[in-house]
Structure 1
């Protein structure tokens, strides 16, 4: 009897608990917001249109010389000639400086006398060896002495040649570090020569724009020095490594102009027109919902917002290129998507 009573109490408790849970579920369900399927959401729309996505990007840089070098002698000594001045134009092979080479020439004369003496000895030994009057080893030693002395003479001639310092290429003397009479050591800077027959405009291009440039591409250049003139250069280098700000160096080579001479250090800017896709179907950037990997847009059809998958291509600051999923003229929601679901009735603004 007691067991029956306990069972009845247990069943009653379980029934009461189930009823309470069901009642709570109904109350919670009553509190959940259910949108009115007939309530229209206000949205702003724009038509998908064909636009020209050409972009004009402007980048500022400064001109660098085509070539620049510090002239450093390979020999040392007193400068006896220095026929240059700062600002002077010099051609390739032009004398920059001449060092005193008297001591080297004296050494060269002494070596030549030694060689002549060995050559005379060689003739005598050749005669004596034929008559077995002297060992052949003396002849061999004399031949080796001649070769050794000739090698020393070549070294001296090379040192003499190094005392004549010439310009390796045509340019302008932009700095003179010594004066006539100065005594210099090997490697001492004497002068700096700068070649500006060609100039290199170096600009820093952001990561998103560096793909607009190709080696050999023709680029228009404008300068602050000649604001009404337009120069043309060609892309000669695109950096393979960016800086901490993800900017990449792009180098544009431009021929200097006699009528409008450019100088190293001047500012220059390039305007690069990138034909992203030319005329193409586009929508506003804010129309895209989801991610760029799975882009979607809300298209207004029969008074309702229909969620549709699209394919996107190039992009600008304002528009996405649409490569699939839309037709020109379709009305695309560009504002108010946060209140939309697939099939939500809308009223356009």
Structure 2
């Protein structure tokens, strides 16, 4: 056999090459198996975990409040209109004057109304005399009951005409229905006016009302008499209380109209201006934090990231109670929480991290 192989040396070369290839392949599998066994599963070391800074926050009592934009209005505002025709005879008060209730503001020409009153008064006296005489005659059965009834009816008609004539004359004198400020005048001396025409405007600003619209989700937290802070555009603040809540929402906005009454003893001219309402709705436990630490979940809800006792990141949805220049008040977190103040954008809920307490002022 070896003699035959010696005659064909290429067969020996093929066999050697085949054996060498098989040895190399078996060696790769052995090495690969050893490599796999050399790297067993193990927990990540602290050096490999993400590092975040945390600050311990504790819940504090705070006053819950709703903040809405409102419009300041006069407590009462009335546009006085002419009820009879006539010329403007006298401007008894100037615009801007403070007037008392029932004070004369403007006079129209009486024309023939005093004469109509005098005729009606004379007619009433005559009818009254006729009725008196008829009653004496009726007692002696000298006139019928129907005749007496007719005379009494004419007396009643004459009295009604007298009342109408007196009212017509009285309506030529325009008086203040309540104490206030003579705010606007729509006519001048000598103008002829018709019934229904606007004459002047009277406003009462000894008390103001601030109207606003509040969302339907918040109206259930309101009660009449709740204290309200009214912040003016110049920073001044007035005290008020909620005195009106609409029974039905506006069909367009689905919001409810509210009104806040504010005493104005100094007569500040604020009607028509804008204001911010801070409506107190009771005390609650909440956390105060920077608005920059708020983030949104996949559904667009506000929340914050914090670290639990197992050093894992948690995301908790919070309710935003109020926001101002100093920070935000939120509810929904545990009473004491390690809030992530640095690195929250690089970690996800459930991820294990290492924590470092944030330095003061960071």
TM-score by length of 1: 0.64
Partner of residue 261, structure 1: 268
CA deviations over 1:65-109 (Å, ceiling 9, x no partner): 222111113222233332021112211111122333352332232
CA deviations over 1:156-177 (Å, ceiling 9, x no partner): 2232222222101111112111
In structure 2, stretches of 5+ residues that fail to align are: 1-39, 357-362
Match of 2:120 among 111, 114, 123: 111
Partner of residue 26, structure 2: none
Report the Cα offset of residue 186 of structure 1.
Answer: 1.5
The separation in 1 between residues aligned to 2:339 and 2:210, in whole angstroms, is 46
Superposition map of 1:41-80 within 5 A: 41-42=49-50, 44=52, 46=54, 49-52=57-60, 54=62, 61-80=70-89
The separation in 1 between residues aligned to 2:141 and 2:67, in whole angstroms, is 91
Report the Cα offset of residue 280 of structure 1.
Answer: 5.8
CA deviations over 1:220-241 (Å, ceiling 9, x no partner): 444455x5x5433333345664
**Change beyond 3 A, Cα 1:71–1:338:** same
CA deviations over 1:7-38 (Å, ceiling 9, x no partner): xxxxxxxxxxxxxxxxxxxxxxxxxxxx9663
Secondary structure at the residue paired with 1:113? helix
Secondary structure at the residue paired with 1:190? strand
- When Rg is computed on C-alpha atoms for both structures, the one with the higher figure is 2
Report the Cα offset of residue 274 of structure 1.
Answer: 7.3
**Change beyond 3 A, Cα 1:47–1:327:** farther
**Change beyond 3 A, Cα 1:262–1:37:** farther
The separation in 2 between residues aligned to 1:79 and 1:327, in whole angstroms, is 73
In structure 1, stretches of 5+ residues that fail to align are: 1-34
**Change beyond 3 A, Cα 1:41–1:261:** same
The separation in 2 between residues aligned to 1:211 and 1:126, in whole angstroms, is 69
Partner of residue 151, structure 2: 142
Count of residues in Structure 1 that have an aligned counterpart in Structure 2 = 302
The separation in 1 between residues aligned to 2:265 and 2:143, in whole angstroms, is 76
Report the Cα offset of residue 210 of structure 1.
Answer: 6.9
Match of 2:43 among 32, 35, 38: 38
**Change beyond 3 A, Cα 1:152–1:86:** same
Secondary structure at the residue paired with 2:119? helix
Secondary structure at the residue paired with 2:208? strand
CA RMSD in angstroms comes to 4.7
The separation in 1 between residues aligned to 2:212 and 2:138, in whole angstroms, is 77
The separation in 1 between residues aligned to 2:300 and 2:230, in whole angstroms, is 38
Match of 1:95 among 97, 101, 104: 104
Report the Cα offset of residue 192 of structure 1.
Answer: 0.9
Partner of residue 181, structure 2: 172
TM-score by length of 2: 0.62
**Change beyond 3 A, Cα 1:37–1:306:** farther
1:277 aligns with 2:305: no
**Change beyond 3 A, Cα 1:274–1:87:** same
**Change beyond 3 A, Cα 1:173–1:254:** same
The separation in 2 between residues aligned to 1:289 and 1:136, in whole angstroms, is 93
**Change beyond 3 A, Cα 1:86–1:280:** closer
Report the Cα offset of residue 348 of structure 1.
Answer: 4.9
Match of 1:184 among 172, 178, 193: 193
Secondary structure at the residue paired with 1:277? strand
The separation in 2 between residues aligned to 1:167 and 1:195, in whole angstroms, is 11
The separation in 1 between residues aligned to 2:60 and 2:154, in whole angstroms, is 83
Contact residue 86 and residue 194 of structure 2 kept, 8 A: yes
